[in-house]
Amino acid sequence: MSGPEHYPGRRLSFSGVLCTVRHVGPVEGTKGDWLGIEWDEPSRGKHDGSHGGTHSSYEPGRSASPTAASFIRPSRTSDKSLTVFEALKKKYASTSAENITATANEIHISGKTVEEVGFEKIRRQLAELQELRVVVLDGACIAAIDSNLGAQNLKITELDLSRNLLESWDGVAALCSALRTLRVLRLDGNTFSDPQEPFAIDEPQRQYENIKELSLNNVGFLQQSTHGTNGNLSWESIRVFSAIFPSLMTLSLASNNLANLALPLATPLLTKMDLSSNAFTTLENIRPLTALPSLQTLSIRANPLTSLSSPPDTPIFFPKLKHLDLISTLLPALSSLNPIPVSFPRLISLLTNHTPLANHPSASLHTIARLATLTELNYSQITPAERQNAELYYLSQVSKQLAAATDDAEEREVLEQHPRWKELCGIHGEPTVIKKPDAETAGAGTLAARVTEFSFHISKQDLQTGRKYAESIDGHSSQNPAKDDAETPTAHHPPNHDPLLIEKKKLIPRTIDVYRLKGIVGQLFGLRPISVKLIWETDEWDPVGEGDGGWSVSEDESDEESRLDRAARKKKDDKWARREMELVDGTREVGFFVESRQARVRVELR
C-alpha cells in the first residue's frame, strides 16, 4: 500500500491542474498500488474512473464527464503545496529587495564585533505585504493556513483563494480569525472534505462577522450523499453558511448545479445574489429568495430558464429587487416578460442579451414598452424620448394584431398578451384599429401577396434640380420632363393631386433590396439613384401636441394631474402626424421595411 500521505479526499496539483484523490490501493489486473484521481478539469483525464471493477470516485463522481478520472502511481511528484503566507510572499514580496544592501549595524557579542545582515530586506518585504489590501492567490497550491498568520499585522480586505488545495473548512475559519480586516472572501473551485464544523454551529461565530461578500462558485464536497448532488454545494449547506455570516451582503453561488431552493436564507442584510449557470427552469424554483428583505440585485443568467410565471393565487413577489440579469436564459418570447411587473414591481435595470426573445427585430422597443419602471436595458439608459417612441411603436404593433383578429376571441387573446395596452392608450391615446377586408388577407402565399404597389411622388422643383444634376454628370438630358410627366401612362394624378408634385405608381416585389428600388425610381423620374433618398410615409399615425410639440404645464400641477390633462387634451384635439421612415441604403430586402400591399414613398434629393 502507499504511504499514509495519500488518502481519499486529498487535494493535489500536477503541473497546475487540480484533482481529488478518490481511490488509494491496488487495481485489478495490475501490479502495485495506484491513486485513482478525479480532475477538476474533466478533459484532463482519460476515463470515468472504472477499471477491472475498481472505481476511482465515489458513486457517482462529482463530474459526469467520461474523461474526468485517471489512475497514477503514488510515486508521481505533485506540485509543492504552500501556506497562505508563503504564497503571499512568493507573489507579492518585491524581488528587488534582494538587491538592497543592508545597513550594517555594529553588534557586540562576547567582546567581538559582528554585523547585522539581511534583516533590513525582511523588514522591507514585511512592510510591502502589510500595505496590501486586495490579494489574489488563485491557483497558488495553498493547502494550509499559517498558525501565526494573525501576528503578521496584515490589513487585507479582499482575498481570492479560488482553485487551491484547501480540504477542511477549519482552515477557512482560522483564516477569518487571523485576518480581522477581511471583508471579501472568494473560495471558488475548492473541494472540501466533509465539513462538519460549520454545519454544527448554532450561533454565528465572531470570526465571520466582518465578511460582507462571499463567493462559493463551483464548490465541491466529498460527502455528496449528505451535502449535495454530484458533490456540489447543496442548498441545505448554503443555508448553514448564510447563518454563520451575519453581515453578508453579497453571495455568489454560480455553477453549483442548484435546481430548486427549498427553504429561505437567514441573511437579512443580503442585497446581491448571483445564481448564474445553475439548473433553474422557472422562477418558481427560487421562490424562497422572496423572503430576503433587502435583496436588490439578482443574477440568474445562463440557467435553462423558460418561464417567469407563477400561480395567480400565490404570485412570486420580490418587494425591493431593482436589478435582474436574464442573459443567456431560454425565455422563448417577448410575452415571457409579462409577469415581471407583478413579481418585480421596483425593477429599474434588466439584462436580456443572448436569449431567444432578443432575436425579435424590435425586442428593445417591445421590452421598454412592456415594462413601465425600467430606466436601463442591457446596460443602456432609457431616455424619456426613447420610452415615448417605444410605447408609440408598441401601440401601433398591437393595433395591427387587433386589426388582423378575425373574432372577439382572437382580440381577447391579443390583449392578454399585451397587458399594458389599456394603460398606454390612456397615456398616448388609442390608435384607430381598421379591420382589413378578407380579400386582403387571402392568398398569403400567392405572388400578389409578395408584391407592393408603390406610389412615388417628388416635387417638380426637386425633379428639375435632380435632372439637371444627372445631365451635368452624364453629359446629356435623360428624358423630356414635360413629355414624360404629362403623357406617360405611369403618371398618376388623383382628384386632389398637388400640382407641384409628380407622382408615379409601380408594382414592385418586396424581395428586391433598397439599392435596386432606387434604381427603379431613377428610371421612373430620370434621376441618378445615388442622388435621392426614399421616405416611406407609413399608414401609422402618432399623436402630437400643441405649439412646440409639448404640453404647457403650470408649476403647481402635480405629475398625475399633468399626465391626465395631457391625455384629455390629446383626445379632444385629435391631432396626429403620419409616421415616416427612411428606406436606408443597403442590401436588405424592401420587405424588411414595408410589409403592406400599398406604400406611399416620397422622393427627395440628398
Q: Is residue 85, in this structure, part of any structural domain at all?
A: no
- Asked whether residue 29 falls in the same domain as residue 49, the answer is yes
CB atoms within 10 A of CB 488: 11
- How many CB atoms neighbour CB 346 within 10 A? 11
pLDDT band at 500 (very low <50, low <70, confident <90, very high): confident
Most confident of the following: 374-388, 392-406, 448-462: 374-388
For the ranges 162-171, 251-260, 573-582, the one whose mean pLDDT is highest: 251-260
Does residue 528 carry a pLDDT above 90?
no
Pairing of strands 250-252, 213-215: parallel
Nearest Cα residue to 292 out of 258, 313, 319, 314: 319
Among 72, 98, 116, identify where a domain stops. 72
According to the 3-state scheme, what is the secondary structure of 133-200?
CEEECCCCCEEECCCCHHHHCCCCCEEECCCCCCCCHHHHHHHHHHCCCCCEEECCCCEECCCHHHHC
- Asked if residue 242 is part of any domain, the answer here is no
Q: Looking at the predicted structure, is the pLDDT value of residue 408 above 80?
A: yes
> What is the distance of C-alpha 221 from the center of its chain?
29
Q: How far apart are CA 49 and CA 96, in angstroms?
A: 47
Q: Would residue 237 count as lying in a domain?
A: no
Would you place residue 53 in the very low, low, confident or very high pLDDT band (cuts 50, 70, 90)? low
Domain C-terminal end among 72, 95, 123? 72
* Cβ-defined contacts of 565-569 (< 8 Å, 24+): 567/426, 567/427, 567/428, 567/429
| pLDDT value, residue 194 | 54
On the question of pLDDT at 250 being above 90, the answer is: yes
Among 403, 435, 467, give the residue marking a domain's end: 435
DSSP bridge partners of 589: 513
Confidence (pLDDT) at 433 = 79
Which pLDDT score, from 0 to 100, does residue 226 have?
A: 38
549: cell is 410639440
Residues 547 and 417 in one domain: no
Peptide bond into 60 cis (omega under 30): yes
| pLDDT, average across residues 477-501 | 50
In a domain, 460, yes or no: yes
Same domain, 491 and 575: yes
Question: With bands split at pLDDT 50, 70 and 90, how would you rate the model's confidence at 252?
Answer: very high
| Distance from C-alpha of 50 to C-alpha of 107, rounded to nearest angstrom | 66
Gap between the Cα atoms of 97 and 286, Å rounded: 53
Percent of the chain with pLDDT over 70: 73
3-state secondary structure 258-313: CCCCCCCCCCCCCCEEECCCCCCCEHHHHHHHHHCCCCCEEECCCCCCCECCCCCC
Element (H, E) at 124: helix 119-130
Element (H, E) at 380: strand 380-381
| Domain co-membership, 455 together with 586 | yes
For residue 423, give its domain range: 388-435
- 503 and 460 housed in the same domain: yes
Residue 377 lies in a domain: no
pLDDT of residue 471: 82
Q: Is the CB of residue 97 less than 8 Å from the CB of residue 125?
A: yes
Confidence of residue 179 (pLDDT cuts 50, 70, 90): very high
Classify residue 235: in a domain, yes or no.
no
Q: 464 with 574, same domain?
A: yes
**What are 443-473's pLDDT values in tens digits?**
555 555 678 899 999 999 889 988 888 887 7
Q: What is the pLDDT of residue 168?
A: 81
Could you give the CA distance from residue 366 to residue 154 in angstroms, rounded to a whole number?
53
Q: Which of 264, 260, 262 is nearest to 275 (CA)?
A: 260
Task: State residue 141's pLDDT score.
Answer: 92
Higher pLDDT pick, 347 / 506: 347
When divided into structural domains, the chain yields a total of 3
The mean pLDDT of the chain is 79
In three-state form (DSSP H/G/I as H, E/B as E, the rest C), the secondary structure along 91-120 is HHCCHHHHHCCCCCCEEEECCEEEECCCHH
- Do 431 and 536 share a domain, yes or no? no
Give how far Cα 518 sits from Cα of 462, 526, 584, 604, Å: 16, 11, 10, 11
C-alpha cell at 513: 433590396
Given this model, what pLDDT does residue 59 score?
Answer: 39
| Closest to 176 in 3D by CA, of 206, 219, 139 | 206
Residue type, 485: D
Q: Is the pLDDT of residue 568 over 60?
A: no
pLDDT band, very low/low/confident/very high, at 122 (cuts 50, 70, 90) = low
Contact by Cβ (8 Å): 98, 121: yes
Q: Name which residue leads in pLDDT, 398 or 24.
A: 398
Answer whether residue 109 is part of any domain. Answer: no
422 and 463 co-located in one domain? no
CA distances from 26 to 4, 54, 70, 139 (A): 15, 9, 14, 30
My answer on whether 570 and 454 are in the same domain is yes
Residue 161: band (very low, low, confident or very high) from pLDDT cuts 50, 70, 90? very high
Average the pLDDT over each of 49-53, 113-117, 197-201 and give the range with the smallest value.
197-201
In tens, the pLDDT along 547-564 reads 444 333 334 444 544 544
The reported pLDDT for the residue numbered 604 is 92
Query: Is the domain of 565 the same as that of 509?
Result: yes
Stretch 289-310: mean pLDDT: 96
406 plus 510 within the same structural domain: no
CA distances from 566 to 502, 552, 571 (A): 39, 9, 9
Residue 2 has pLDDT above 50, yes or no: no
Residues 231-250, mean pLDDT to the nearest whole number: 83
> Would you say how long the chain is, in residues?
606
Strands 50-51 and 33-39, bridge-based pairing? unpaired
Of residues 13 and 61, which shows the higher confidence score?
13
Q: Does any domain span residue 464?
A: yes
The three grid cell numbers given for residue 193, joined into one nine-digit string: 472534505
Q: How high is the pLDDT of residue 115?
A: 55
Return d(Cα 482, Cα 303) in angstroms, integer.
67
CA 263 vs CA 85, 138, 235, 311: distances in Å: 38, 32, 8, 19
Residue in the block written with cell 425633379: 463
CATH assignment at residue 521: 3.10.20.90
Q: Which amino acid is at 206?
A: R
Instruction: Determine the straight-line distance between the first and last CA of the chain, rounded to whole angstroms.
Output: 87
Higher pLDDT, 511 or 223: 511
User: Residue 40 maps to which CATH number?
Assistant: 2.30.30.190
Q: Do 419 and 444 fall into the same domain?
A: no
